[in-house]
């Protein structure tokens, strides 16, 4: 169906344009393969028995669709980890988006004396390497009694994703034309009203990007999950591969199963969320 539409379009353009379309189309397909292939092989490997990986090669077609891996993984702690991950990521994400939108508004739309140095401070926070914070944050978590609790992860997750989120959102808000806001202020909106009524809706594409990026980051985050939780009941998904990684060897097909299952909720979330990245939807929001 898409093909016929494309074809109709192509017929309307000149031969040179047609060639261009062809090149663009081929490049898009090429990238489709390059981007999708490793993922495809991850999923494919999850349907193999362990020995197949070595006997037939990693990139061979599975001998038969072997479902035991999925059974084993799902019978383990996977669902617990999944629920934990969902709770942590959603809570953190809401906090990140709200807090970063507030800050980004200040940095992009308000003019005051200390703005630049304070902004520089936020940028500096982006430069903090995660591993040095493990010990101090671990001790802090112990002290406030949150150790081995999934809610211990929310603080560090918000803190680590916040600087980058503020930074990105500030950039997006700077690109929102200034006159929109001025007219709102003339209409008698205060700064806070302007933020909620005008700026926030206009930033939705940026917020959607951030939402996607941050949730992917947190979904796969390993270091804090490792250090701040302990019991299997409090672990998140990235720790689920442990059970299949031994000291000198790893059960690769099982790990691929865990990782494929881990990616699935994110893919669904992306398919739903990426709608926000389509041109035009914000216009309605402004009018409304």
Residue ranges in 129-168 that form contacts with other proteins under rule CB under 8 A: 129-140, 142-143, 147-148, 155-156, 158-160, 162-164, 166-168
Using rule CB under 8 A, residue 59 touches other proteins: yes
Supply the minimum distance, in Å, between the C-beta of residue 220 and other proteins: 5
Using rule CB under 8 A, residue 206 touches other proteins: yes
The dihedral through the CA atoms of 78, 84, 87, 91 has a sign that is: negative
Using rule CB under 8 A, residue 208 touches other proteins: yes
Using rule CB under 8 A, residue 126 touches other proteins: yes
Using rule CB under 8 A, residue 23 touches other proteins: no
- Contact residue for other proteins among 30, 124, 233, 285 (CB under 8 A): 124
- Contact residue for other proteins among 10, 19, 30, 35 (CB under 8 A): 35
- Contact residue for other proteins among 67, 83, 192, 233 (CB under 8 A): 192
Using CB atoms within 10 Å of the CB of residue 29, give its burial: 0 to 12 exposed, 13 to 18 middle, 19+ buried.
exposed
Q: Scan residues 246-285 and list those touching other proteins (CB under 8 A).
A: 246-252, 255-256, 259, 262-263, 266-267, 270-271, 274, 277-283
Using rule CB under 8 A, residue 239 touches other proteins: yes
Q: How many Å apart are CA 229 and CA 235, to the nearest integer?
A: 6
Size of the site for other proteins (CB under 8 A): 127
Using rule CB under 8 A, residue 218 touches other proteins: no
| Structure token pair of residue 47 | 């349907």
Q: Scan residues 62-101 and list those touching other proteins (CB under 8 A).
A: 98-100
- Contact residue for other proteins among 26, 51, 67, 94 (CB under 8 A): 51
Using rule CB under 8 A, residue 111 touches other proteins: yes
| Residues contacting residue 73 through CB under 8 Å, at least 6 positions apart | 240, 254, 257, 258, 261
Secondary structure (3-state) at 145: coil
- 199 near 181, Cβ under 8 Å? yes
Using rule CB under 8 A, residue 183 touches other proteins: no
CA dist 245 to 44, 51, 149, 196, 240, Å? 19, 15, 24, 48, 10
- Contact residue for other proteins among 38, 178, 188, 288 (CB under 8 A): 38
Supply the minimum distance, in Å, between the C-beta of residue 87 and other proteins: 19
Beta bridge partners of 245: 250
Nearest 5°: the CA angle 197, 284, 95 is 45
Question: How many Cα atoms occupy the beta-carbon half-sphere of 237 within 13 Å?
Answer: 26
- Contact residue for other proteins among 4, 5, 178, 287 (CB under 8 A): 5
| Structure token pair of residue 115 | 């703005």
Using CB atoms within 10 Å of the CB of residue 187, give its burial: 0 to 12 exposed, 13 to 18 middle, 19+ buried.
exposed
Using rule CB under 8 A, residue 112 touches other proteins: yes
Q: How long, in residues, is the chain?
A: 288
């Amino acid at each position: 169906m898409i093909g016929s539409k494309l074809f109709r379009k192509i017929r309307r353009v000149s031969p040179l344009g047609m060639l261009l379309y062809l090149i663009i189309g081929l490049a898009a397909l090429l990238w489709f393969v390059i981007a999708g292939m490793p993922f495809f092989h991850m999923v494919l490997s999850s349907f193999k028995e362990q020995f197949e990986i070595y006997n037939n090669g990693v990139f061979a077609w599975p001998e038969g669709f072997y479902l035991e891996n999925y059974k084993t993984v799902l019978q383990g702690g996977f669902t617990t980890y999944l629920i934990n991950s969902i709770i942590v990521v959603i809570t953190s994400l809401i906090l990140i988006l709200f807090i970063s939108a507030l800050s980004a508004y200040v940095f992009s739309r308000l003019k005051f004396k200390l703005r630049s140095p304070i902004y520089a401070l936020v940028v500096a926070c982006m430069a903090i390497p995660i591993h040095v914070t493990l010990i101090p944050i671990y001790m802090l978590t112990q002290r406030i009694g949150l150790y081995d609790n999934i809610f211990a992860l929310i603080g560090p997750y918000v803190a680590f994703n916040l600087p980058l989120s503020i930074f990105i959102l500030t950039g997006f808000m700077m690109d929102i034309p200034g006159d929109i806001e001025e007219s709102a202020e003339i209409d008698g909106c205060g700064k806070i009203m302007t933020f909620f009524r005008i700026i926030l809706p206009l930033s939705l594409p940026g917020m959607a990007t951030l939402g996607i990026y941050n949730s992917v980051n947190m979904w796969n985050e390993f270091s804090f999950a490792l250090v701040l939780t302990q019991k299997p009941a409090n672990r998140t998904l990235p720790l689920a591969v442990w059970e299949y990684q031994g000291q000198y060897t790893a059960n690769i097909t099982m790990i691929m199963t865990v990782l494929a299952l881990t990616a699935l909720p994110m893919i669904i979330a992306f398919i739903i969320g990426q709608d926000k990245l389509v041109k035009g939807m914000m216009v309605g929001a402004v009018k409304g």
